[in-house]
Structure 1
Amino acid sequence: MCRKPKPGLRPVEELASRAAKRSLINDLLLSLLLTLIAILFSPTFQHMAISALCGIVLIAVLYAAQRKAHTSRTSIELGKMFVRDRERIAQGLVRNLEIAAAQDNEARSYELMREIAVLIRSDHIRKLQIFLLQSIMLRKDMELELEPLLLESFDPELAAYIGELTKIKRELIKDRTFKYVIKHEQQIRAMKDGEDILVGVAGAAVRMKRYVLAYASFIARYARKLPKDRFLRLYRIVMENPDSNWGALQAETSRIYEEKYQWDADFQQLKPRSTIHDV
């Protein structure tokens, strides 16, 4: 599915498209001029005809090639505009953001903040984005992101946002996020709902075997509090790959199984390894 252009960026893209068309017209005019010069300086009528024919072919080929390359040419022009007018564009977006904020339109404010973040990359902008995200009701169908928002330092709002994503879009939790959470594990644990966030991140890690292997020690610390469906997946991954280096996770998984799920019917029949998908 193609992503629709952001409303605030559409006029800029239209300007870039017009610039690309002007470039095409300039190229065609240059080709026409060269053709006319060739005709003008042709010594015979035969040479004039050949020059005219070659010019027509050149213009036709150039036009067809330029039409096919219009999208990439527009992207190039858009990049030039951002470089040339970056500050002016950012100032305009900031003004729009101020208007949206004054109208208490958090969703629109977040979209504008994302557009500003394209032009200005800083932790301050990221923190504002996270703050806005925490002020709106997040839904699974929203166009959310995480990795572009990750900070070097610990931020409780970011940790809370990660916790929300573990509930509605755990597929956004990837290596950089796992490393961020592990790096700031103690600060997150000290938060009001910190342990729930850490358990949620551990649950997101059991989506894939490679995550379980890479972050086995972290998962082992929170495996006991995983919801049944996440622990069932963890149990299957670990038990069906006994030769992998699970460290303490293998023993912890076995203990939890024996204490809580030994007689649970869902744990009695392991699925073949090929049926384990990213969920």
Structure 2
Amino acid sequence: MITNGFLIILLLLTIVKWVKYLLGRKRVLSSEQVNTALLDLLNQERGQQDPKHNNELNSSRRIPAPLGSLHKPMYAYEKLRVCTHCERYTVLHEPSCLFCGKGTLRPVHWKAEKLVRRSMRNELLLTLLVTLLAILFARGAEQIIIACVGGAAAIALLWLNQRKTLSPRTYGELVKLFTRNRQKIIDGLIKNLDTAVEVGNNKEHKRSYEMFREVATLVQNDHIRMLQIMQLQSFVLRSDMDLELEPLMLKHFDPHLAAYIGELAKVKRELIKDNALRYVTSYEDEILDMKDGLSILIGAAGAAVRKKRYVAIYARFMARYASKLPKERFLRLYRVISGHPEQEWGELADIVSRLYEEQYGMDPESQTSLTRGHSI
């Protein structure tokens, strides 16, 4: 009877595992859902702190510093690593833990999988223990054989179940890990930011900026964006750099961001899109009050002529700065407007037509460029 009881326990354990697997297949978490869960946790307003930083991070003297491409994994959480010694977290590619100094950093996915495998091992050991107890309390050879066969079948089925559920269980464990250790992760990211600020204050601006970018893959807020923008002001920007603008857009006016947009208009105008143009037009008065504000606005207007849609949306803005555009950008604007007479351009069409006649109407080179066209 006792042996039968143990066999029933084995049967129930096996059935429960497979039923959970079959019922849970439709609720299996994907990598994208795990990523979303982490980003939602980290970007909640409550509980966040700002690192101590110096508002004068950027150097008054710009330095040539080629920025390498940021390694972007498919999912942001893949950047997160955990120290197996002190259980602290980081997204920086430092060789050792910033808290304990040990070189024991591992990917967070590794940590979650390790916990799942430990749980699976315990399940197998429990099944084996029940099997041994069934054999121990067996009466006669027949019951021993039944216990052995039943135990072996249960272990085999459990092992097969574990193979099928390792990946989804790991994703589930990742979400639990993020929820359970949210404050530790936030503390680790704050430590990362403090380290980046310290590195920047030591004039290692390139390394500092790259650290900020690493943190920004997980945490998106205006404070980190401002730190990145301030560091960018330390560099001589070039078109071959891995620059970005959309992820750095702020919800309020900041002269550093306006200056950065002005720099991009010179070296990489294709990065200036809807959000940047909306920002510039929204804070036009504030930008005009800046030392180089007028050139920033002219640069933004010059970038807008890349697309007919931008010219149409920001026609009034374009009308204010059309007369100040460089020749190549103005001729591009003229081509856009003259090539689409059906579009309602408002006063912009009249202004551009008049300026063209006054400045370039008798210029053979301008006529040739209009016919040939220019790259944008």
TM superposition score category, shorter chain reference = 0.7 to 0.9
| Match for residue 238 of structure 1 among 337, 348, 371 | 337
Is this contact kept in 1: 2:116–2:173, CA < 8 A? no
Residue 202 of structure 2 corresponds to: 103
Which stretch shows the higher mean deviation, 100-109 or 13-22?
A: 13-22
Residue 307 of structure 2 corresponds to: 208
Matches within 5 A, 1:12-91: 14-26=106-118, 28-29=120-121, 32-33=124-125, 36=128, 44=146, 47-48=150-151, 50-63=153-166, 65=167, 76=175, 79-80=178-179, 83-91=182-190
**Runs of 5+ consecutive residues of structure 1 not aligned to the other structure:** 272-276
Secondary structure at 1:14 match in 2? strand
Which stretch shows the higher mean deviation, 224-233 or 122-131?
A: 122-131
Which stretch shows the higher mean deviation, 45-54 or 86-95?
A: 45-54
Number of residue pairs aligned between Structure 1 and Structure 2 = 269
Residue 258 of structure 2 corresponds to: 159
CA distance in 2 between counterparts of 1:160 and 1:29 reads 58
CA distance in 2 between counterparts of 1:78 and 1:254 reads 63
After superposition, what is the alpha-carbon deviation per residue over 1:197-230, rounded to whole angstroms, capped at 9, x for unaligned?
1111011112222212111111122122222332
AA of the residue aligned to 2:92: L
Is this contact kept in 2: 1:39–1:52, CA < 8 A? no
User: Structure 2 length as normaliser, TM-score?
Assistant: 0.59
CA distance in 2 between counterparts of 1:74 and 1:238 reads 57
Residue 9 of structure 1 corresponds to: 92
Residue 124 of structure 1, CA deviation: 4.5
Structure 1 residue 140 and structure 2 residue 239: aligned?
yes
Change (3 A) 1:34 1:141: farther
Residue 165 of structure 1, CA deviation: 0.9
Structure ranking higher on relative contact order (CA contacts 8 Å, 6+ apart): 2
Residue 80 of structure 1, CA deviation: 4.6
Considering only CA atoms, is the larger Rg found in Structure 1 or Structure 2?
Answer: 2
Change (3 A) 1:92 1:197: same
Structure with the higher helix share, 1 or 2: 1
Residue 371 of structure 2 corresponds to: 268
Is this contact kept in 2: 1:8–1:115, CA < 8 A? yes
AA of the residue aligned to 1:191: M
Change (3 A) 1:139 1:38: farther
The percent of aligned pairs where both chains have the same amino acid is 41
Change (3 A) 1:34 1:170: farther
Secondary structure at 1:57 match in 2? helix
Is this contact kept in 1: 2:91–2:214, CA < 8 A? yes
Residue 33 of structure 1, CA deviation: 4.8
Change (3 A) 1:76 1:164: farther
Which stretch shows the higher mean deviation, 53-62 or 78-87?
A: 78-87
User: Structure 1 length as normaliser, TM-score?
Assistant: 0.77
Residue 274 of structure 1 corresponds to: none
| Match for residue 93 of structure 1 among 192, 199, 208 | 192
**Runs of 5+ consecutive residues of structure 2 not aligned to the other structure:** 1-68, 74-78, 80-89, 98-104, 136-142
| Match for residue 183 of structure 1 among 274, 278, 282 | 282
